[in-house]
A = this chain, B = another copy of it.
Amino acid sequence: MSLLNDLINLDLSETTEKTIVEYIWIGGSGMDLRSKARTISGPITDPAQLPKWNYDGSSTGQAPGEDSEVILHPQAIFPDPFRRGNHILVICDTYTPAGEPIPTNKRYNAAKTFSHPDVVAEEPWYGIEQEYTLLQKDVKWPLGWPVGGFPGPQGPYYCAIGADKAFGRDIVDAHYKACLYAGINISGINGEVMPGQWEYQVGPSVGISAGDQVWVSRYILERITEIAGVVVSFDPKPIPGDWNGAGAHTNYSTKSMRSDGGYEVIKAAIDKLGLKHKEHIAAYGEGNERRLTGRHETADINTFLWGVANRGASIRVGRDTEKAGKGYFEDRRPASNMDPYVVTSMIAETTILWKP
């Protein structure tokens, strides 16, 4: 296969100034990532230099066959960790030919929220803890688990090492470096409580870029599992029973929360979130009711409670934030399959713009 790798890894910079641009978008289910590539002349440093493109929306459940074009608007570029050189990835959002965002385009409204002057003034930061489960291809059973059976109970696996405790680290480590190469603000990784489950964190990112970076990091992850011959799942409760679910805890702060006296601002923001608990939960990911049971370090889906250092709460405030009197808090409700555009903008809207 090394001859194939020689070709995949060809450094074209000696022979051509052409750049390969991989356009990425979100498909009709709201979770399926799609991409295709085109050749562009010359190096690209700004998404504004990239042309709009289009794709066959009838093949992704986003348009009818007799009027199938969906338009791609380039929004953010990242160096391509797979093709390297000057080649790039670009995350796009999707529009009708008339210029209207299509229904599955959640970025559009999020961008509007994030450009509201009151939101801009508060400089909202997000740190998202993306959990995910690796599954064996073909049988869709977690990586490292015996087919037709279960591993020993949870306990030894969180942050563990060893062939009997950590399954798939090569994927996780490749992803870490690939994201850093791509310019994504990946802040850490760890093995999770359920064997075969992992987590990485993206942030702190400001406003709309949180969503862009999480989506591109998910793209890079699924491209890496594709190479590894493993399937990645963002299901919030992949295995029923005494096994942890997968979340996307969203850490959040604003300028006011990060300044002196911020702790009071945090408490006020949490109160507002409590008043809109049902609306947020409805937008925090499909299937979350299987995960938010009140067990396995979650709060029950119908309950809103917050607490310092409380992992069984809906919202957790760190001891260091309480002590410093300012900082950030963690919304533990979002599921691993949440849309970061939706969650980040909704938190900003409820805490900054909404007056109860």
Contact = CB atoms under 8 A, between A and B. Distances in A.
Interface of A: 1-10, 12, 15-16, 18, 20, 27, 32-39, 54-56, 58-61, 65-69, 79, 81-83, 97, 137-138, 146, 154-156, 158-166, 169-171, 173-178, 180-181, 183, 186-191, 193, 219, 222-232, 297, 307, 309-312, 318-320, 323
Nearest to A16: B180
Contacts of A4: 170-171, 174, 224, 227-228
Contact of A189 (B37, B58, B222, B311): B37
A2 B58 CA distance: 36
Task: Across the A-B interface, give the 4 residue pairs with the lowest CB-CB distance, nearest first.
Answer: A36-B190, A7-B174, A34-B159, A38-B188
Contacts of A222: 161-162
Nearest to A189: B37
Contact of A7 (B160, B163, B187, B224): B224
Contact of A161 (B61, B163, B226): B226
A50 to B, nearest CB: 13
A222 to B, nearest CB: 5
Give the number of copies in the complex. 2
B36 A191 contact: yes
A79 B39 CA distance: 18
Contact of A177 (B12, B54, B58, B162): B12
B188 A33 contact: no
A321 to B, nearest CB: 11
Given A3-B8, A59-B193, A309-B68, A34 B174 contact: no
B176 A37 contact: yes
B37 A188 contact: yes
Given A5-B2, A163-B229, A180 B36 contact: no
Contacts of A10: 81, 177-178, 181
